Structure 1
Amino acid sequence: MSWIDIPDGSPFGPENLPLGVFRYGDEEPRVGAAIGDQVIDLAPVASAQMLDGAQLFAEPTLNAFLALGRPAWRATRNWLLDLVRNENDRDAVEPHLTPQSAVSMQLPFEVADYVDFYASEQHATNLGRLFRPDSEPLLPNWKHLPVGYHGRAGTIVASGTDIVRPSGQRKPPDASVPTFGPSQRLDIEVELGYVVGTPSKLGAPVPVDSFEDHVYGVVIVNDWSARDLQAWEYVPLGPFLGKSFATSISPWVVSLDALAAAAVPLPVQDPAVLPYLSGSRLVNFDITFEVYLNGQLVSTPPYKDIYWSPAQMLAHMTVNGASVRTGDLFASGTVSGAAKDQRGSFIELSWGGREPLVVDGKEHTFLEDGDVVTIAAWATGGDGSRLGLGEVTGRIRPAVS
């Protein structure tokens, strides 16, 4: 319950309170919390209540707050919960509520490093069948380790940023030499991203049971993908220009504590994983994504059945001694379900372009200039309660000539 009026169907109820960075008019960006269709401007409220670390909410990114670590994250969440529940705090908070429609949301944190995994068995199987129809869809290593690659932190952009169609080398199977030009198979990838707060030391792997000590929360990720550029370049070293041009993230960071009610057991992993990937608290989250193309719902990928847990991703990412930093982002890779309308990319939804989708009476395979893609997500608790992650959106602009 909250004294703040929350519209029916809002993703940001009083148990959620995600953090983000907003700008009001010409004022400097600063940290806010979302509730209903409003933003709580945290800096003046925290200062008035003499909260430890109040000055961090006046920062233009969440990084300084993220670096405080789990005890401070939990204390801040408890403070926020009291603010929105306690009628006695109305006079302190109400003057600092601003409609979300009146602010512009910024990139919520400065991204230090970015890692993209490939953790959905259904997605990996679909692509294996598309790319290697005469072979086993999963490569031999896939069920032994969370496959991933390092991406570009500098091209992660805030939701609402236009995406310029990338250009590069492409070589169709029937061509003898490559050509250069705009991607003709521009795609999306529906992903869940994990935001690192507490850093680790170089040379010290992060155990799976220490996941919550390092990761603050989650964002929705759309990892745009140029499939034709990727197909020509990725053997033998993996994704490069086909992935590095842009990755969009949602503006609100939902804490792991807020998501706790949506935790579900990890699916059975067979064969058994190596000891460093085994732990007593391995979970996923019951999250459903909604993919909209030009306003029409085209897919609802489920996250709960993803094969590798985020704790295993972090453990594998650091098992060689690599460190993580405040602001690191690692993402699940494309999330796809078993049904056709649960696939998390257009290469799967159109089955390599051979089975077009019909949107507003028009056939679609890959993205066209002017297309708008919006990805929303909801977490479902064991009691049936819903908690929103917000949405991430982007419009495709023509390639630079």
Structure 2
Amino acid sequence: MTACWLELPDDALFGVHNLPYGVFTTPDEPSRRRIGVAIGDYVLDAGAAAHATQALREVAAPLSAPALNPLLAAGRPVWTQVRAALIAWLTDADHRPAVEPCLLPRQDVALHLPFEVGDYVDFYSSEHHATNLGRLFRPGSEPLTPNWKHLPIGYHGRSGTVVVSGTPVIRPRGQRKAPDQDAPGFGPSRRLDIEAEVGFVVGAASPLGVPVPLDAFADHVFGVCLVNDWSARDLQAWEYVPLGPFLGKSFATSLAPWVVPLDALDHARTAPPARDVAPLPYLDDREDAEPWGLDLDLEVRLNGTVVSRPPFAGMYWTPAQQLAHMTVNGAGLRPGDLYASGTVSGPEHGTEGSLIELAWNGERPLNLPDGSTRTFLEDGDEVTVSATAPGPHGTRIGLGEVTGRVRPAGSAPLAPH
């Protein structure tokens, strides 16, 4: 196993086999954003390291950019080259004198949105989540819609309200109508919820009119990050017929500050669940030697208490299928596009990725250690989603975490991150 000269513990989630990318600032230069790579409890200033080692001169400019987008646009050969250099810098003691001064304690830096988000698409790819919501919203009928096992259902979200972890979430206002009301009213959402998801960050572009096939997934997707797609269930329920999510979703989507490169997840690849409906050819991965299922273990904490552990390995549609479907009509990709898996939910209670499932639409409130209960989020509540994945030699790698605290409706506007 390759060792880092930092002498990290074996259980370090940000070890040399992970090396996630982010963007940071320091207290002495709060307006200067830099690309950083997490290693142990440190952040490596990637641009400074490239200059200090006098290596990778051809990509020193993308590594010195204030966001990941230039690196995303560079494509897989450059991603592979940069990753190999990072590993060499952190494992070859000959590089230590040049690289060590480029390390900063992670606790001393501020983390920002790692890339400028282009388009944002959110899918609905957990059979367990879709079945649970179908049973809640359409009792007495088939929980899955007729198209669900034929295509990855999704919607286009609002990229301008994707915010970095730690950004407060202001309770949204909008129209809502209870079943016993004759007309809708207006006000703050009373059923504010979370959705624990995994996001996929697009790097290399694709031309308009040219679909991206399943086997080109790794050529276009740079890496993976955690997502919390906050949801106002009462606003959503009233507005979503017939066009789908709108204001119930578009007020905030929280993103983890770290993007784990796809190459770090080789040991997390796994077969997706068996499918009882044959996909159409452009979605059919049944003969692939290594389909793009991923064995990721998520954890959801509400005010510090673990309330759920959703398993990503059970997702019905893989990210490669999602990308293929998203582009099959000829839609082009741009560096910085983001698409999310949809809520990750498992088959057992305690593995659901949303409160509407965990509390079963308010019928079985969650009991918290302070004696309070929750069906949906209250002002002041803080939600954190974290995740780990298998690494080499029985290790685990981390995806970091995405956190948000709910502020009352009408709170002061948020500063951009």
Shorter-chain TM band: over 0.9
Q: What are the Cα deviations for residues 297-355 of structure 1, in whole angstroms up to 9, with x where unaligned?
A: 11000000100010100000010111111000000000000111100000000000110
1:33 is the counterpart of 2:37: yes
1:143 to 130, 149, 152: 149
Q: Is the 8 A contact 1:200 1:325 kept in 2?
A: yes
* Aligned residue in 2 for 1:380: 390
2:363 to 341, 354, 369: 354
Where do residues 1-400 of structure 1 align in structure 2 (5 Å cutoff)?
1-7=3-9, 9-27=11-29, 28-48=32-52, 49-51=54-56, 52-279=58-285, 280=288, 281-360=290-369, 361-381=371-391, 383-400=393-410
Deviation of 1:382 after TM superposition, in Å, equals 7.5
Deviation of 1:9 after TM superposition, in Å, equals 4.1
Q: What are the Cα deviations for residues 144-195 of structure 1, in whole angstroms up to 9, with x where unaligned?
A: 0000000000000000000000000000001111000000000000000000
2:202 and 2:276 map into 1 onto residues whose CA distance is: 29
2:131 and 2:244 map into 1 onto residues whose CA distance is: 17
Q: Is the 8 A contact 1:188 1:345 kept in 2?
A: yes
Aligned amino acid, residue 11 of structure 1:
L
Q: Is the 8 A contact 1:7 1:37 kept in 2?
A: no
2:164 and 2:267 map into 1 onto residues whose CA distance is: 27
Deviation of 1:6 after TM superposition, in Å, equals 2.6
Q: Is the 8 A contact 2:198 2:342 kept in 1?
A: yes
Q: Is the 8 A contact 2:378 2:406 kept in 1?
A: yes
The DSSP-based 3-state class of the residue aligned with 2:401 is strand
1:374 and 1:78 map into 2 onto residues whose CA distance is: 32
* TM-score w.r.t. length of structure 2: 0.94
* Aligned residue in 1 for 2:414: none
1:345 and 1:26 map into 2 onto residues whose CA distance is: 39
Q: Is the 8 A contact 2:204 2:219 kept in 1?
A: yes
Q: Is the 8 A contact 2:37 2:43 kept in 1?
A: yes
1:172 and 1:6 map into 2 onto residues whose CA distance is: 54
Q: What are the Cα deviations for residues 111-166 of structure 1, in whole angstroms up to 9, with x where unaligned?
A: 00000000000000000011011100000000000000000000000000000000
* Aligned residue in 1 for 2:415: none
The DSSP-based 3-state class of the residue aligned with 2:135 is helix
Q: What are the Cα deviations for residues 45-78 of structure 1, in whole angstroms up to 9, with x where unaligned?
A: 1012231211222211100001000000011111
Q: Where does structure 2 lack aligned partners over 5 or more consecutive residues?
A: 412-417
Aligned amino acid, residue 38 of structure 1:
Y
Q: Is the 8 A contact 1:5 1:36 kept in 2?
A: no
Shift in CA distance, 342/9, structure 1 to aligned 2, threshold 3 Å: same
Q: Is the 8 A contact 1:202 1:323 kept in 2?
A: yes
What fraction of aligned residue pairs are identical, expressed as a percent? 60
The DSSP-based 3-state class of the residue aligned with 2:394 is coil
Aligned amino acid, residue 340 of structure 2:
A
Deviation of 1:383 after TM superposition, in Å, equals 4.9
The DSSP-based 3-state class of the residue aligned with 1:341 is coil
Q: Is the 8 A contact 1:188 1:225 kept in 2?
A: yes
1:200 and 1:262 map into 2 onto residues whose CA distance is: 26
Deviation of 1:10 after TM superposition, in Å, equals 3.2
The DSSP-based 3-state class of the residue aligned with 1:289 is strand
Q: Where does structure 1 lack aligned partners over 5 or more consecutive residues?
A: none
Shift in CA distance, 382/97, structure 1 to aligned 2, threshold 3 Å: closer
Deviation of 1:384 after TM superposition, in Å, equals 3.1
| Structure 1 residue runs of 4 or more that deviate by more than 6 Å after TM superposition | none
Deviation of 1:14 after TM superposition, in Å, equals 1.1
The DSSP-based 3-state class of the residue aligned with 1:146 is coil
The DSSP-based 3-state class of the residue aligned with 2:217 is helix
1:304 and 1:178 map into 2 onto residues whose CA distance is: 40
Q: Is the 8 A contact 1:226 1:243 kept in 2?
A: yes
Aligned amino acid, residue 177 of structure 2:
K
1:93 and 1:184 map into 2 onto residues whose CA distance is: 51
Root-mean-square deviation (CA), in Å? 1.1
